[in-house]
Amino acid sequence: MTELPNVHVRAEVLAQALPHMQRYDQEIVVIKYGGHAMGDRAAAEDFAEDIVLLEQSGLKPIVVHGGGPQIGKMLDRLGIQSEFRGGLRVTDEATVEVVEMVLAGSINKQIVGWISAEGGRAIGLCGKDGNMVRAKRAMKTVRDPGSETEQVVDLGLVGEPEHVERGVLDAVLKAELIPVLAPVAYGADGQTYNVNADTFAGAIAGALRAKRLLLLTDVPGVLDKDKKLIPELTVEDCRRLIADGTITGGMIPKIETCIYAIDQGVEAVVILNGKVNHAVLLELFTDYGAGTLIRRG
């Protein structure tokens, strides 16, 4: 008899999830799974459960994963010395081979395996497959601390998406498979490029006019100057917070990806902590947002 109240609570939770499931029925949701968020095995298995449940509930999830920490470990293991310019790693020919091996190989197939173990049907791809994502060389700017001027930095074979051919993904989703995408792309010159996973996910979400783009990271979301979570922002709010110094550092490119995706037709983007148990389900299937929601306004 003591189990009955718990059973009733679970049934109530499922009932409350129904309107959220209906809202996302047959909608595309792109989830970027960060390198640091992948570090814990139990959390990774929870993430895989979430993805399978989304697909079984009628959504069309697409996973884009990172892998920066894993790439760094493999470079160290192989004795490949990295060059840094403006604090950013330069991707040369030797490095991009390792990037492709780790991202499109071991990490990609590991995530596919986790999803398969939970009963899902996933397929691992990268931007080069089916000419899915064409990239161009990215030129980054960094502020010189001495002169306070912006300087252009050549990071080698680091790319940014130039075109997304959605036909491959449409075919995969039609076959009721879960695409797991590594952010490696090709250039018009046939060169392989390493693409930032956030940027890659934003390009995919924009090209497919996704209902949601979720950026899983290792922070709760966007924080104010008192380090408290900001639950919701408009695009205009984001620009203002960058201008006044509230949003700084690595959060700026994430916000720029959010703005780009929304400009391309994505309804909303969420930045959330991927280390929270079942963060994806909390965000999509409950009234309790798990991070910062960003809308057009």
Binding site membership: which residues? 67-68, 89, 194
Q: How many helices (H) and strands (E) does the chain have?
A: 10, 14
CA atoms within 13 A on the CB side of 85: 14
How do strand 150-164 and strand 133-143 relate by DSSP bridges?
antiparallel
DSSP 96-127: HHHHHIIIIIIIHHHHHHHHHHTT--EEEEET
Q: How far is CA 11 from CA 17, 108, 239, 240, in A?
A: 10, 35, 42, 43
**∠ CA(200), CA(152), CA(83), 5° rounding?**
75
Give bridge partners of residue 36 from the DSSP assignment: none
Residues annotated within the binding site for substrate are 67-68, 89, 194
Burial of 215 from C-beta contacts in 10 A (0-12 / 13-18 / 19+): buried
Give bridge partners of residue 227 from the DSSP assignment: none
